[in-house]
Structure 1
Amino acid sequence: MTNWDTKNGKKTCAGPREKAESARSPLSDKKACPVRYYAHTAENEAGQTLYTLKDGRQTTARPHPADLADEQIGWQPLAAHLRNVARLAGQFGKPMGMQKEAELAGLLHDLGKYSHRFQNRLRDPSIHGINHWAAGAVHAADLKQVPVAFAVDGHHTGMPALGGITGLKQTVRRKLDHTVWKEWTGCSESISELLARQSAAGGIALPSLPPFPLDDHFSGAFRTRLLFSCLADADFLDTEAHFNPPAASQRIVPTLQPEHALAILQGHLAAKPAGGSVNERRRRLLADCLASANKPPGLFTLTAPTGSGKTLSSLAFAFQHIAAHNSSLPQGDPRCFQRIIVVIPYTSIIEQTAQVYRDIFEPVFGPDYLLEHHSAVAPRERPEDLGRDAEEIRMRRARLAAENWDSPLVVTTSVQFFESLFSHLPSDCRKLHNIARSVVLFDEVQTLPSRLVPSLLSAVGLLTRDYGVTAVFMTATQPAFAAAGKALPYGWRPVEISSDPEAMAEALRRTRIELPAKESVSWEDIARKLIGHPQSLCVVNTTKDARRLFEMLRAQVADGTFHLSARLCPAHRREKLAAIRERLRAGLPCRLVSTQLIEAGVDVDFPVAFRALGPLDSIIQTAGRCNREGWHPQPCPVIVFRPADGGLPRGAYGVAKAKTEDFLARHPEAGGQLHLPAFYSAYFAELYDLLGPQSCQSDPVFTASHNFDFPKAAEECRLVGDDSRAVLVKWKRGAELADKLQRVQHLTAAECRAAQQFLVNLYQQEFIDARAKGYVFQPAKDWDFWVWNSNYSDDLGLGHLDIDSLTV
């Protein structure tokens, strides 16, 4: 008897153990099949495996295999698991037109568990290294269902890199050790016989499908990720239902109820003060949003100045758009919109926006109506560990804690949204199918990295073209995506919602921007100018500059002096912003030094602002925090200055700052026109020519996706340019969560959500340095999750680290 040695490509002699196991395989000898095939064991409340003995007793002590009953009480039958996953995956795939493919993936995903060796592994955890997913992937490849093959092969390990679509079967076979591969020799015939027997016994049956066409590789890879999402979420949910029925029963979420929600929102808006030119223009924007909402689903832009009410007017658009569209379809039609997803660049705005939504909707619909999701506080899937039996419990906890965006209103970050769209890991991708048939509101889209514009816009284009998504790109400074769109395979032809963006920008002009002199100024000079204004804002380019200027100010006027940066955890920033707003309302001294995180949508209103010279869109966004409500009849000053020894973040930020200097030098009249959309559109066009890829082929994410290289696409799709690591800080409830994680070695999904508010992100090099110095520790050995164990200041947040290139 010979087996295939995948390491050297030669046939080798099998030993007695391998011969015996092969002889007992359900595929090679039907008479040797175990009485029952199982997908999962049973566990007690402590997470210990429960074994049923031949006398009917159950024990957590691992018995000798000869003492085990053929039928294990509480273990999940494999056929039931495959049917359940197929049913759920098919439901998830139906709105995207891939119900049959998703059902096929569900039926095939654990096909390798129909093997003697895997069933022995369930009964004897000391057996390791059983690959149970590759067999189904091979069969899908034989059926020429490429997306199904990728999804099945990746549902534990992450979708693979295959250098295109060729060689799937060979690659999958290499993942099987020689004994297991011998069991699956003659795979198609054996699997067909097995499935036929199961179907005849009331088990499982495969749907028939035509071969998958591959005329557009980027589109095919995108569809594969969405199919992968259906399988991953279905598998996680059925696994959760088996191991944790109480948690599964709590997953019932409210429906969107767009008409009711719109009425509540309009009531909230009607209760706001009606007087003044600012409120008049906000009502005009709301009317534009409601009128445009009746247009067909697709791609929209909303260009409106800061303070014009985009946050709530765009939400009104979404509710009205869904109500109008869904009313034209039969109830329960899979083409109906299901949810609204709001995508925001910074966690600082997420906290603010989510709280506004909660205040409006939670009293009526309850706390589960809205999901705020920006950072996963759960054991991360590490590709080197995925699929190892020793990691099974840890990874199951990670996946069950991952979000799947099944709430009707989701608020998330650009990083979470786009990096998940191009991920290859199950816990990241499980949410993707819930993007289909959604209205997605992208806020402050000028923050998207120009180097990835082709892949990001192509993904949005496919969502709107093929998956029933309506997308709205919102900002006061609309990027020149139309110019970049000329190189996109799916084009870029959005419909503008605002009836007259230029007129609205002119009407809402509340500041005058003073451009910088050629001479630079010292931080001491800026501190003196800030002291001369009891209420003033200064935005700088790096955390080091923010800390330096804040400390100068605090030494002279401690009362009412504040610092904001991403060195403070979200809950801490929210508390600071509440104090700042209260002092501004009360007319008390309030001087704020901040990094650029204050710029994108944060609702504060100062009578004067200072801005270190930086990218043009950042200057305009700083102006949006000055005289925001129009309480001052004359335009308030926004003073741009050149710091004598100021730092700059790495990468594109410095290039954009240099382009701004060049652009302003060629347009000396700019100070009076920076509020006009046409002006900054010209700036963005020049910046994209300088920074952005000239074609899809020069975008690494697009190229990797085109080649079906899923790990490479995930690696390249980094919106912040560098890998970051979140650490939990022991600030208020953060200390309680850190202690719980250390004591019980894991957190619940609810606690993971709560912990989001106590995280600070470190760049990879910072994390390495902090770990070497003992500033962070890992409280749970099975969780790739870390706690900050050093100084955390009430004024400055995270201490010790001093990297000049940090932005926020």
Structure 2
Amino acid sequence: MLLAHIRNSDFAEQSVQTHLEDVSLIARQYGDAVDLGAHAELAGLLHDMGKFTQHFTTYLKNAVFKQEVSRNKIDHSTAGAKYLYDNYYNKNALQNYVIETVGMAILSHHSGLQNFVQLDFKPSDYLRRVTNEELPHYSEVVRNFESIKGNAERVKALVEEATNEFREYSGKIKPLTKPIVYLNLMQKLVFSCLVDADRTNTRRFEENEESNLSKDKNVFRDGYNELIAQVSKWEHHQVTPINQLRNELSENCDQFADEPSAIYTLTIPTGGGKTFASLRYALKHAQIHHKSRIIYVVPYTTILEQNAEAVRNIIKQPDAVLEHHANVLDDDNLDDEMDYYRINNHKQLQLGRDNWDYPIIFTTMVQFLDAFFQKGTRKSRRLHNLTNSVIVFDEVQSVPYQHIELFNTAVNFLHTVGNSSIVLCTATQPAVDKMDLPIVLEDNTEMVPNLSETVEAFKRVSFHNKVEPDGWDTDQIGNFVEQLIQRLDSVLIILNTKTAVRKLYERLAEHKEAYAVHLSTSMCPAHRKEKLTDIKHKLGNEKVICISTQLIEAGVDISFESVIRSLAGLDSIAQAAGRCNRNKEVETGDVYLIRAKDEHLSKLPEIRIGGEVTENYILSNPQYADHLLSPKTIKRYFTHFQAQAKREILKTPKGLDYELITMLNGSFASKKRPQTKSTGMFKTIERYFEAIASPTTGVLVPFGEGKDIIARLNEDIQDHALFNQLMKQAQQYSVNLYDHELQTLGSENLITPLFNEAIYCLNDKAYNEQYGVTLEGKAALDNYTF
């Protein structure tokens, strides 16, 4: 018997044929959700065809029984793609697309997607491999595969079925702008189905777990019933004008849930109960239209943490909600199956990592974009689970400008092809349907009726323009705060940089009349959560001064008497205003706009441009300055912001002379006639794509339970379930650091690698109890109380 895997725990064997059949069935289920079941099944049936050799079986046995792992990698991923190409290519144009789509998924399922077109126009990764006449053991592979009754016939039937699927698919995307984009994304979707099916079957075999693809269909029904019970309580016990407005908005969303899948906008003013209203829509719509999951995509982890907890409390099903932050475990380089035997325990742990197969998921915009465009296989395997879902993009205006076209195409794809219902949710709705590559919005897709009147009804603050040409330095801002706190009980100050926040905090920390607190992403989530809890307990009982970065602006349910906001985009100003007089505790709260002198925004172009547009086109014109949050003002702001950003923000990644969208829409390939029907340049896109301009690394910090997690990770952990549990807990005790910060900490011996440098942790000297990570290494002394 020729083998695909040998289980380490009991040496049970899985034959190649069994693995191929099992993977093809799982992939079929994934693909059927988007009418690409034959594509996915065909990819599953052939993906490990190259293991049909005695050579590979011998390799496995040597690795498991003798601990002898050859350094010469065995190419088992090309054979299936070559078999399709040799037998079915150049029959007709539609079938060629199928062969290329499935073949690319097969030959890429460990390395990550390759190119159909190269930057230098040399023979592509795909053609070079499928036309390789010297592929080792290929004749033996074909002979062994075809000797099993039904294999060859099944391939033929699936090719025919997939060709019909592709014909239907082509008609579906034809009305879209640049349909070639959606052909390329379809190929990535088939790849995702295959990779997840392969990893899932391998994990089940390793853990001796029976297949269980059934889902609890009652999560959405039971959650909706709990939500409606909460609405009923509010209607009877919390009757205030603002709560009545919030209930009316959630009722509108409830009514929209009956409508077919579409891309909707939900423009709810800050403090309008956006999370509750969108959840009400999502739970009901998911029931009625048989959606597989509900996914919230948010810009910041602070929103993720609070909103996920709020949803758990509403639906009374904590285990149904997954929080997915940035990964603490750096396993990007462990995608190749050969590493499974070299780094066995670590690889097993990776195979059990989450693939977003949960009823309700909270993740970040970075993770969403990475599922489409990041390198490797680990993140791509999640892509298919974004289909047939309800996806709520919270604070959609926060999409990085350089990736706006990639984002828009992903949204169109998930709705038109993926059968997902999309909600673009924000208080400041950008004109997504007016961009160069727009999101396709149908008529009457705004969930909030009479938007201008609704915004006016939610008005709770007055804005005061104190922006001066030279700006205020730290002492001037501190003096102004001290003046305010003499007559008020709470003031929130939001600045644009962590350095400015920390400097102002140090200026105000010794204030005798108020509790001063610092908030920034230099603090781990558990630390921020603890500080926010302290603030909420103290508000109304003692004077509070909070100095924060913009992390507090969105999703944090908190209310201050007054807010000071350093000049930024109108969308940020609107969010800041949402932390002032949130529940209309008084008739009108005060929001002061200033220019902070100590901020350096040269590396933050979107914040800089946003502030310039706000100052030059909004605050300078009384027609708009007197109605800062009106839909008319918001529209004017985004019109000018997009025009200036287009002039000043480069969309070409560092080291590349072309925008990434040109490698997805076929315009780069059109420079020279490609040798394949497909033109996707996946490998190049993934090489240069970065969801954020300066990528970061998650580092464990010694705060609270983080100290215990670090200590346990210093042990030799064999139990992968325990390891995964620790990794999930570690997300609350990690901070994302830039490369230069890692280098500084490393030079001072303040950071320690674990698991062959796959995980990093800080020592006590590098984490301060007041403001988090400190590069000076003096935190241990600062933390000491005499």
TM-score (norm. length: structure 1): 0.83
- Any residues of structure 2 matched to 1:203-352 within 5 Å, and which? 207-210=157-160, 211=163, 216-245=179-208, 254-272=216-234, 273-325=237-289, 336-352=290-306
Q: What are structure 2's unaligned runs of at least 5 residues?
A: 89-95, 666-678, 778-786
Distance 2:700 2:374 in 1: 24
Question: Structure 1 CA distance, aligned partners of 2:257 and 2:573?
Answer: 31
Equivalent position to 1:643, from 585, 596, 601:
596
Please tell me the residue identity of whatever aligns with 1:708: G
- Equivalent residues in 2 for 1:59-458 (5 A)? 74-125=12-63, 126=68, 127-128=70-71, 129-142=73-86, 143=88, 144=96, 145-163=99-117, 167-172=124-129, 181-184=135-138, 193-199=143-149, 207-210=157-160, 211=163, 216-245=179-208, 254-272=216-234, 273-325=237-289, 336-362=290-316, 365=317, 367-382=318-333, 387-388=338-339, 391=342, 393=344, 396-397=347-348, 399-458=350-409
State the match for 2:461 in structure 1: 511
* Residue equivalent to 2:509: 554
Q: Does 1:536 align with 2:457?
A: no
Q: Which amino acid counterpart does residue 645 of structure 1 have in structure 2?
A: D
Structure 1 residue 647 displacement after superposition: 2.7
CA distance in 2, matches of 1:615, 1:409: 31
Contact kept in structure 1, 2:497 and 2:549, CA below 8 Å:
yes
1:389 and 1:321 mapped to 2: Cα distance? Answer: 41
Shift of 1:316: 0.5
The Cα of 1:645 is off from its aligned counterpart by 2.8
Contact preservation (8 Å) 2:104, 2:126: no
> Quick one: which amino acid aligns to residue 86 of structure 1?
S
C-alpha distance in structure 2 between counterparts of 1:571 and 1:223, whole Å: 39
> Aligned letter for 1:636?
G
The residue that corresponds to 2:696 in the other structure is 724
| CA distance in 1 between partners of 2:32 and 2:219 (Å) | 21
Where 2:585 maps in the other structure, the secondary structure is coil
Q: Which has the higher mean CA deviation after the structures are superposed, 642-651 or 86-95?
A: 642-651
Matches within 5 A, 1:780-795: 780-781=755-756, 784-789=758-763, 790-795=765-770
Overall identity of the aligned pairs, in %: 28
Q: What SS does structure 1 have at the residue aligned with 2:730?
A: helix
Displacement of 1:39 after TM fit? 0.7
Following superposition, the deviation at residue 427 of structure 1 comes to 1.3
1:13-28 equivalences under 5 Å are: none
Shift of 1:385: 6.5
Letter in 2 for 1:259: R
When residues 174 and 542 of structure 1 are mapped into structure 2, their CA distance, relative to the original with a 3 A threshold, is: farther
How far the C-alpha of 1:447 sits from its partner, in A, is 0.6
Bigger shift: residues 589-598 or 493-502: 493-502
Give the match's secondary structure for 2:356: coil
C-alpha displacement of 1:702: 2.0
Question: Does 1:37 pair with 2:2?
Answer: yes
What SS does structure 1 have at the residue aligned with 2:117?
Answer: coil
User: What is the CA distance between 1:775 and its match in structure 2?
Assistant: 2.4
Q: Is the 8 A contact 1:510 1:628 kept in 2?
A: yes
Distance 1:383 1:38, change over 3 A: closer
- In 2, the alpha carbon distance for the partners of 1:427 and 1:260 equals 32
- Write the distance in 2 (CA, Å) between the matches of 1:539 and 1:492: 37
1:767 and 2:767 matched: no
Cα-to-partner distance string for 1:499-542 (whole Å, 9 max, x where unaligned)? 12211110110001111243522321221232332311000010
Residue 752 of structure 2 is aligned with which of 761, 777, 793? 777
Deviations 1:360-381 (A, max 9, x none): 223xx4x421111122233412
Q: CA deviation at 1:797?
A: 0.4
> For the structure 1 residues 487 and 373, does the alpha-carbon distance in structure 2 shift closer, same or farther, using more than 3 Å as the test?
closer
Q: Does 1:579 align with 2:541?
A: no
**Contact 1:458–1:490 (CA under 8 A) maintained in structure 2:** no
Shift of 1:443: 0.4
- The residue identity in structure 1 corresponding to 2:520 is S
**Cα distance change of structure 1 residues 695 and 552 upon mapping to structure 2, 3 Å threshold:** closer
- Distance in 2 (alpha carbons) for counterparts of 1:377 and 1:171: 37
Size of the aligned set, in residue pairs, is 715
What runs of 5+ residues in structure 1 fail to find an aligned partner? Answer: 1-35, 45-49, 51-72, 326-335, 803-808
Return the alpha-carbon distance in structure 2 between the equivalents of residues 377 and 290 of structure 1: 38
Which of structures 1 and 2 has the bigger CA Rg? 1
- Cα 1:624–1:493 shift into 2, 3 Å: same
Give the Å deviation of 1:482. Answer: 2.3
- Which residue does 1:597 correspond to in 2? 551
Q: What's the RMSD between the two structures over aligned residues?
A: 2.9
Q: Secondary structure at the match of 1:371?
A: strand
The one-letter amino acid of 1:103's match is E
Q: Please show how residues 44-55 of structure 1 align to structure 2 within 5 Å.
A: 44=9
Query: Deviation at 1:172?
Result: 2.2
The alignment partner of 1:538 has SS state of: strand
In the TM superposition, residue 396 of structure 1 has moved relative to its aligned partner by 3.0
Q: 2:725 aligns with which of 750, 754, 760?
A: 750
Q: Conserved in 1, the CA contact under 8 Å of 2:24 and 2:42?
A: yes
The amino acid of 2:25's aligned partner reads R
Aligned to 1:328: none
Which residue identity lines up with residue 552 of structure 2 in the other structure?
A: I
Q: Which stretch of structure 1 is more off in the superposition, 377-386 or 404-413?
A: 377-386
Q: Matched residues in 2 for 1:488 and 1:617: separation?
A: 20
CA distance in 2, matches of 1:718, 1:287: 39
Displacement of 1:274: 3.1
Distance 1:531 1:249 in 2: 63
Q: Normalising by structure 2, report the TM-score.
A: 0.85
8 Å contact kept, 1:559–1:589: yes
Structure 2: distance between partners of 1:257 and 1:305:
29
- 2:93 aligns with none
